[in-house]
Amino acid sequence: MAKIKGFLFTIGFLIFITALFTLVIIVYSTTFQDDKRIAEIGALDNINNLDSSLKNSIKELFLAYSNMAVGTLGTNISFNETLVNNISDFQISLSYLKNFTETNYNIASLNITDLNESLPLIIMPQRIEYKHNYSNREIIITPEELNFNGYHFLITNVNNATCDSASYTNGSFILKLDSNSLTTAQFPDCDFDLSINPNVKNTFSIGSSGPYQNSVTIEISNGGVAKIRSVELNSIPRLHTTVLLNQSTGSQTKLMLPDSIIRISDNILKVFKKDGVRIL
């Protein structure tokens, strides 16, 4: 009996010591896990910092060098630039930023091909794309669907700003078109205030005669796709475009550079991030 008691006591003590050791191991590993979690949170914050600071930097470069002014007019979005704009400084600064970023952070890369080629801007959430075709001296506005009210184009600094021709079909899509040979909006030489059908081809041209005939052409078709083209080489027209949005979505409207400009890929944390840049 005494032997059994001693044996049971030894076994019990062994079990107790084992449980104690297990507890120590669990406590130790929990401490380690806790430190690891904090390190991970810090690393994720650093990725977030890199992402948001790159967005901020690209926005700064856009505002400084794109030679474009963008803004809101009530619930509408406006763009103001020469036709067609010179963005060489923006391209240079972006390429340096790309070089600087990728040299210093091997987890980050900038995809600036689209920005260099056509500088697309996207009105969200309507998904209306405003982009450039620099070789054709053309600006193209492409809505994903017809979920806005119309356009207001003001073209200034045109050598001959009188209306030349207009071919359109009546509808409910608003088109305001003013042009002026001066640099102001007052007393336009050409003044259209129409409601057209955006699903058929509507064309307008400015510059009535001589070397300046059809110096600026505007085409609206295919569900509101607008193409504004300048063929005048003797002056640099300025195009002020206002996209007339629905009042209901106005407060949520933002203007973005396209998705996937910034790419961050961290293989250790298994994090992949792809982001655009908000301008407005």
List contacts with another protein (CB under 8 A).
2, 20, 23, 27, 30-31, 34, 37-38, 41-42, 45-46, 48-50, 52-54, 56-57, 60-61, 63-65, 89, 92-93, 96-97, 99-101, 104
Which distant-in-sequence residues (6+ apart) come within 8 Å of 219 by Cβ? Answer: 201, 202, 203, 204, 226, 227, 229
Q: Which is nearer to another protein, 57 or 241 (CB)?
A: 57
Minimum gap (Å) between residue 54 Cβ and another protein: 6
Q: Which is nearer to another protein, 74 or 96 (CB)?
A: 96
Minimum gap (Å) between residue 102 Cβ and another protein: 11
Minimum gap (Å) between residue 3 Cβ and another protein: 10
Q: Which is nearer to another protein, 102 or 144 (CB)?
A: 102
Q: What's the CA gap between 229 and 207, in Å, rounded?
A: 13
Q: Which is nearer to another protein, 5 or 233 (CB)?
A: 5
Q: What's the CA gap between 161 and 36, in Å, rounded?
A: 68
Q: If we measure between CA atoms, which residue out of 239, 197, 199, 235 comes closest to residue 218? A: 239
Q: If we measure between CA atoms, which residue out of 228, 237, 235, 233 comes closest to residue 132? A: 228
Residues across the chain:
280
Minimum gap (Å) between residue 4 Cβ and another protein: 12
Instruction: For Cα atoms 207, 212, 217, give the angle at the middle one, nearest 5 degrees.
Output: 50
Minimum gap (Å) between residue 9 Cβ and another protein: 9
Q: Which is nearer to another protein, 86 or 162 (CB)?
A: 86
Token couple for 47: 């990725």
